[in-house]
Chains A and B, each alone.
Chain A
Amino acid sequence: MSLFSGGLVRLRAIEREDIPRFLRWFNDPEFVLLLHQYEPLSREAEEEWFERNIARAPPGEEYLFAIETLEGGVHIGNLGLHSVNWIDRRAVVGIGLGERDYWGKGYGTDALNILVRFAFDRLNLHKLFLYVNEQNPRAIRSYEKAGFRREGLYRDQTYLYGHYENVFMMALLQSDWREGQRAGAAASPPA
């Protein structure tokens, strides 16, 4: 297991060749609503996103990765750290699994664990946080498994499927994560 791989997936750089796949994912209405990306996306908009956020990205602001399965090398989604604030040493976590066949099977959680380790061990960030719809229990469970805890509730924060929904803010501190790592290592049987 290296820094960028887990039990089911590994993280790799996002490449220009991935754009057609993004286009398919981002035009899946269920997927995009969960990401708060409300409108259908054109190929040009996606290429522009790639130029701005990958090819010519200013260093140190975002760390974006493609999620690929260890078995078969299938690109199933993306994740990353956004809006890195180096003074507060925190970042927003974002993740989206575009390939529906891989939902609910632990792939997202595995990828999230790699990202968390990267953020704390490699970048030495202090805190990670994210926003998630109250009506997205699959995502909430995954974040909880990775150690995130609910810090806040934003009432009627987003308009989704024809009505307003609450949004949770969830967060994870480096110190809590380290404690969890130590406890986990102590609890697991010797290899």
Chain B
Amino acid sequence: MLRGTHVVIRAQSKDDLDLLHRWLSDLELYDSAWPPYWEFPLSRDRLAHILEEEAKQKDRRNYIIEAPEGHPIGCIFLLHLNWPSAHAELGIIIGDREALGKGYGSDAIRTLLKFAFETLHLHRIYLRCGAGNERAIRTYEACGFRREGIFREACWRDGRWEDELVFSILADEYREAQPA
């Protein structure tokens, strides 16, 4: 369990299936996730199978974010963990709409960065997001991520092409940004 300023990050388990299924059945939320998925609506058993497969992946960590009151509000992941090069991709979904706009997402990201750099000893964390997702971009920049690239027209979504942005933060940059 990782303790942030407000939120707590814990391991995801099979018991979270219904919760995740509820979140991922919200189309607007589903569409804000990046990279876009096209399996919608998702049957509960299909999701159970996906989670089972994900749990077997050694280069992936799925965590649940809990609000200060203790109830789960979203998930946060590390993907494509590469140990020799010490980097991983970060992903986050806030599933509980009530929890939006309270700074819980950035708190969860900061908490996971601390874990990734100080405990897992990683060198670089990167993430991708849709160029149109301004709320997400503001959050990532507030957490210390730098925009480092653009993949032009990388995704087709609902009738048009969308650019994909890549953000990253290095261990040194993270350390420098910490209050002494």
Question: Which secondary structure characterizes the binding site on chain A?
Answer: loop
- Whether a CB of chain B sits under 8 angstroms from the CB of A87 is yes
Question: Which secondary structure characterizes the binding site on chain B?
Answer: loop
Which residues of chain B come closer than 8 Å to A124, judged between CB atoms?
84-86
Contact indicator B84/A87 (Cβ below 8 Å): no
CA distance A87 to B120 in the complex (A): 5
- Whether a CB of chain B sits under 8 angstroms from the CB of A89 is yes
CA distance A94 to B135 in the complex (A): 52
- Give the contacts of B79-110 with A (CB-CB under 8 A): 83-86
- Whether a CB of chain B sits under 8 angstroms from the CB of A86 is yes
Query: Which residue of chain A has its CB nearest to the CB of B84?
Result: A123
CA distance A122 to B85 in the complex (A): 10
Known A-B contacts A60-B83, A123-B84; the reply to A87 vs B58 at CB < 8 A is no
CA distance A89 to B122 in the complex (A): 10
- Give the contacts of B114-171 with A (CB-CB under 8 A): 119-121
CA distance A102 to B104 in the complex (A): 63
Bitwise, A160-178 to B at CB < 8 A (1) or not (0) is 0000000000000000000
- Whether a CB of chain B sits under 8 angstroms from the CB of A184 is no
Bitwise, A92-116 to B at CB < 8 A (1) or not (0) is 0000000000000000000000000
Which residues of chain B come closer than 8 Å to A58, judged between CB atoms?
58
Most chain B CB within 10 A, of A58, A59, A86, A122, is at: A86
Which residues of chain A come closer than 8 Å to B86, judged between CB atoms?
86, 124
Contact indicator B58/A89 (Cβ below 8 Å): no
Which residues of chain A come closer than 8 Å to B83, judged between CB atoms?
60, 84, 86
CA distance A86 to B119 in the complex (A): 11
Query: Which residue of chain A has its CB nearest to the CB of B119?
Result: A87
Query: Which residue of chain B has its CB nearest to the CB of A122?
Result: B84
Most chain A CB within 10 A, of B85, B119, B120, B121, is at: B121
Query: Which residue of chain B has its CB nearest to the CB of A86?
Result: B83
Which residues of chain B come closer than 8 Å to A86, judged between CB atoms?
83-84, 86, 121
Q: Shortest CB–CB separation between residue B77 and chain A, in angstroms?
A: 18
Supplied contacts A86-B84, A124-B85, 8 more A-B pairs, CB within 8 Å: A58-B58, A60-B83, A84-B83, A86-B121, A88-B121, A89-B121, A122-B84, A123-B84
Point out residues on A near B: beta carbons under 8 Å: 58-60, 84, 86-89, 122-124
Residue pairs across A and B with Cβ atoms less than 8 A apart, 20 shown, are A58-B58, A59-B58, A60-B58, A60-B83, A60-B84, A84-B83, A86-B83, A86-B84, A86-B86, A86-B121, A87-B119, A87-B120, A87-B121, A88-B121, A89-B121, A122-B84, A123-B84, A124-B84, A124-B85, A124-B86
